[in-house]
Amino acid sequence: MKVFFNGDYLEKDQVSVSPDDRGFVFADGVYEVMRWYGDHFLGFAAHQKRLLRSLAEVRIEWPAAYKLEVITSELIRLNQLQKQDALFYLQVTRGAAKRNHVFPLPSIIPTVYATTTAFIPNSAAVEAGIAVISLPDERWLRCDIKSIALLPNILAKQKASEAGAQEAFFIRNGIFTEGSHSNVFFVMNGVVYTHPESGAILSGITRNIAISLCRELSIPVVEEGFIASSLDMADEIFISNTSGEIIPVVSMDGQPVSGGKPGIVTKRLQETFQRYALIANA
Ligand code: PDD
């Protein structure tokens, strides 16, 4: 598999990252994930914008010589993914320097690593829905930055996995914020509720597309966090992320949601999303 590493396209096993890399030592970096639909990326411009925003927020400068359009198209070509589903992963760290919390001076070149991997959508989850658990949100308040520091997310997802569930929903101050690797939505009396953009969530590209598609379908959307103690009143629950698009939730903490089956609003949005994602330049 060919990967991008600091300006070169290499076989993955030829990449060597310094043990002094601040990504390795401090998780001092950011990342992006995009889905390739065989002939186009969904939301390329939005992902690029979010990457640049994450970088600016953590004060890492994107090397001007690297063009995201070129990196993505070269990796798709070199890995012969032109007609397949794939995931693109890119991570940028502050670079390698002697361990010191303060930014290195003189400034160093960031480490940029990107891969494309053939991807098979999880059709069982998409069709039948998933089980989730809820957990206290113990993360920092800059979840809007797509940081590679994902320890709380990993621990949450591991707990979910050990409970036989596929996602963990975080609760902060009695309100559902987001999932360990997804945004979360609740449908109540025909209205879709999702946490507003803030430091408490990542502004998901899939979330934002889902909100616009709801509006096109005249499904009312309220950007308000759902109150955890009102869970019994939720008629449907679903999650969104780049790899899964829209995935129904059919149980939470062992209790069935929407009778243990994907809900009607969820299904309608999911089908609309699937059609939208196939449109090139979406
Ligand atoms: N994760 N919230 C969190 C904490 C996430 O990690 C993700 C995505 C999302 C959804 O964002 P988007 O719709 O832009 O994918 C929300 C990616 C896919 C990952 O870490 O693999």
Cα 31 to ligand 1 centroid, rounded to whole Å: 10
Cα 199 to ligand 1 centroid, rounded to whole Å: 14
What are the tokens at 274?
A: 């699937």
Ligand 1 site, residue 134, Cβ cutoff 6 A: no
Which H or E run includes 70?
helix 68-78
Q: What is the mean pLDDT of residues 13-30?
A: 98
Mutate to test the pocket of ligand 1, among 44, 137, 140, 241 (most ligand atoms within 8 A of CB): 241
Cα 98 to ligand 1 centroid, rounded to whole Å: 31
- Prediction pTM value: 0.98
Strands of the chain, DSSP E = 2-5, 8-11, 29-37, 85-93, 111-118, 130-136, 167-172, 175-179, 183-188, 191-194, 221-222, 236-241, 245-252, 255-256
Known catalytic residue: 146? yes
Mind listing the pLDDT tens digit for each residue in 117-165? 999 999 999 999 999 999 999 999 999 999 999 999 999 999 999 999 9
User: Which pLDDT does position 282 carry in this prediction?
Assistant: 61
Mind listing the pLDDT tens digit for each residue in 74-129? 999 999 999 999 999 999 999 999 999 999 999 999 999 999 999 999 999 999 99
